[in-house]
Chain A
Amino acid sequence: MWDIILRGTINGAMFSLIAVGLNLQYGVTRILNIAHGEFLMLGAFITSVVFQFYGVNPLVSLAISGPMVFVIGVLIYGIVFRRLVRLSRSVEELEFKSLLACFGLLFIIQNVILIIIKFYPKLMYVGVRYLNETIIIMGERLELNRIVAAVMAVIISVLLYILLRSTRAGLAVRATAQEPTGAQIVGINIFKVHTVSFGLSVLLSALAGSLLSMIYPNLSPLTGPQYTFIALAVIVIGGMGSFIGSLLGGFLMGYVYYVSMKTDPLLAMPVVYAFLLIMLIIRPKGLFGR
């Protein structure tokens, strides 16, 4: 029982961090980034590179992977999505087209990582071994790195929440998410807001990746899409555009995922999708959707 609570919470903390990023991105820019998991892999990959070659502490590498991926995200937004937004006549068209563009992005990022790995077999997994001594909580053996990662994930999510709730920049982001035209009328540069939100959300994804690489030393660079889909399920369950929804939905998904994983590893992803579908049928707007 305690293992479900503890390990489910750890899973949940990671899932909600990933989902919060994806939700921010979709809520503000209306781009459903199915390459979100690839940015996560990018973060994990950078962590793994600086750890293997320079021996940088994975927690310190959060400060490296985050900004790097932020810059990459801003560049991608400026090059690809800015034009796409200008070309699209309606939100539906933008959603559909950006889905296809993100599919291309997924191919590119995944294979860039794979090609680099080919030259350096040492980097075969994008995970690192760090803090893997176990401690016992409530009779359950837990690796220290998991606890550290989960705590970090919660801290980052809370920081983001504070940033969105109580700063002027956060206000601009929320205004843009709610009413893009209105936000423009009151003088918000929504292009800037979109770019920064896109960058910020891939930054969150990269941070989640760095933390995940600490948890799973054998993280395969091909698992990016899986995390994207979990995050997608989480934001649908929590309600698109709802921060609290993604946060709580992430934890809920964490428990569901852990229980199904414990029953049978093959069941984990089908249960995630079944959960998503049931939720879509019962309450398409999500638990906290408006």
Chain B
Amino acid sequence: MLKGKMVNLTKILPIPLILIVLAFAPYFLRRYHLVILQDVLVWVTLSISWHFFSGHTKYISLGSVAFVGTGLYFTSVYLNLSMYKGYYPILPLPVVVLLAGLVNFALALVIGSVTLRLKGIYFAIATFGVGELVKGVIQFWQTKAGVYIIHLPKEFWDPQIVYFSLLITTLAVLLFTTFLRRSKFGLALRMIGECEEAAAHVGVNTSLFKTLGFAISAMCMGLIGGSYAIRFPSTRVDSAFIVNYSFLPPIMTMLGGVVTAYGPIIGATTLTLINEYLRVTFASYFPIIYGSILIIIVLFMPNGIMGVIEKVKSTKLFGRIKSAKGLKTPS
């Protein structure tokens, strides 16, 4: 009992420290580092949102770009139209971002109800197709309408505003998904991941929970996409819908470790920093090194960074090697 409490304390203690550092980061970091920190926040949130659905239910979604892109593009278009053209009422930024999240929620309900009846690799291909389809449709529509670049109002060209909006969204998404994961909803998702038939047998409405989980994950992606929109002074369809949004969250989650909740956070942070370092140091050679790193991760770290940490911990503390048993129940 006592031991359990102490472990909890050491686990919780760093969190306020990290929060304080994050809250004051813009005041002591240089602009370049602040921009990197923004990227880290974005990818952390995307990985958390991706992991919330795909990590638990094991329905591997490769269509995140549809939701991130929609959130990002919706926010830019709304801000542009409301402040320059006066088509829509001018709303404060958080409301616009929330709207972007809701648009994504609705979009994902439609997409999810259609694609979630597929399994395994078919689901992955279908979601990928959806991502590209959404991009293609919006691009077609915008080109026909003669819109190529969307400029953002000048009020938002401030790294601090961008940073804090991203930070708040990240924390909100983190709290929200953690809360849901620990509720019955998360339990249902995990059961679907373990064995969908068994879950259905004990009375879980699997299709409802899958669709809702997919929609919530998409909503979180839309929220972070919406907050990310003000980072770019101008947006085009092909800069809002980058295929990396689909592929990097799974890779980051995998690097961190699919099993634990910390996995996506650690994986996203590590990979974003590696990416930035390589891009600055090696310029045009960086994708080659980056690709090699991805392959090395897949080959030599099957359980991600968290798996490695677990392994080291178990050998040092207890003197015995607990082989990490692959994809255990995510907690």
A contact set with B: CB distance below 8 Å? 32, 80, 83-84, 87, 89, 92-93, 95-97, 99-101, 103-108, 110-112, 114-115, 118, 225, 229, 232-233, 236, 264, 266-267, 269-270, 273-274, 276-277, 280-281, 284
Contacts and interface: CB of A to CB of B under 8 A. Distances in A.
B132 A270 contact: yes
Given A92-B58, A269-B132, A270-B133, A277 B290 contact: no
Contact of B288 (A96, A112, A269, A280): A112
A110 B287 contact: yes
B55 to A, nearest CB: 11
A280 B284 contact: no
Contacts of B117: 281
Contacts of A106: 291
A115 B284 contact: yes
Given A83-B299, A84-B299, A270-B140, A276 B125 contact: yes
B306 to A, nearest CB: 16
18 contacts: A100-B254, A100-B294, A100-B298, A101-B299, A108-B287, A110-B287, A115-B288, A229-B132, A266-B140, A269-B136, A273-B130, A273-B133, A274-B133, A276-B126, A277-B114, A277-B115, A280-B129, A281-B117
A87 B299 contact: yes
Contact of A101 (B122, B290, B294): B294
Nearest to A271: B136
Contacts of B243: 225
B293 A104 contact: yes
Lowest 3 A-B CB distances belong to which pairs? A270-B136, A107-B291, A104-B294
Nearest to A111: B287
Interface in B288-330: 288, 290-295, 297-299, 302, 326-327
A103 B294 contact: yes
B120 interface: yes
Contacts of A264: 140
B32 to A, nearest CB: 25
A277 B129 contact: yes
B140 A107 contact: no
B129 A284 contact: no
A197 to B, nearest CB: 18
Given A95-B120, A107-B291, A266-B136, A101 B129 contact: no
Interface in B227-279: 243, 247, 250-251, 254
A277 B294 contact: no
Contacts of B133: 270, 273-274, 277
A107 B279 CA distance: 14
A87 B299 CA distance: 8
A87 B120 CA distance: 19
Chain A at the B interface: SS class: helix
A266 B143 contact: yes
Contacts of B288: 107-108, 111-112, 115
Contacts of B121: 32, 95
B137 interface: yes
Nearest to A264: B140
Interface in B116-172: 117-118, 120-122, 124-126, 128-130, 132-133, 136-137, 139-140, 143
Contact of A118 (B60, B130, B284, B299): B284
Interface of B: 58, 60, 114-115, 117-118, 120-122, 124-126, 128-130, 132-133, 136-137, 139-140, 143, 243, 247, 250-251, 254, 284-285, 287-288, 290-295, 297-299, 302, 326-327
B299 A273 contact: no
A107 B289 CA distance: 9
Contacts of B298: 84, 97, 100-101, 104
A284 B120 CA distance: 12
A273 B124 CA distance: 13
A114 B117 CA distance: 40
Contact of B118 (A115, A269, A270, A280): A280
Contacts of B291: 103-108, 111
Contacts of A104: 290-295, 298
Contacts of A233: 129
A84 B254 CA distance: 14
B122 A270 contact: no
Contacts of A93: 326-327
B311 to A, nearest CB: 15
Contacts of A269: 132, 136
Nearest to A275: B129
B140 A267 contact: yes
Contacts of A108: 287-288, 291-292, 295
A281 B111 CA distance: 11
Nearest to A233: B129
Contacts of B125: 232, 236, 276, 280
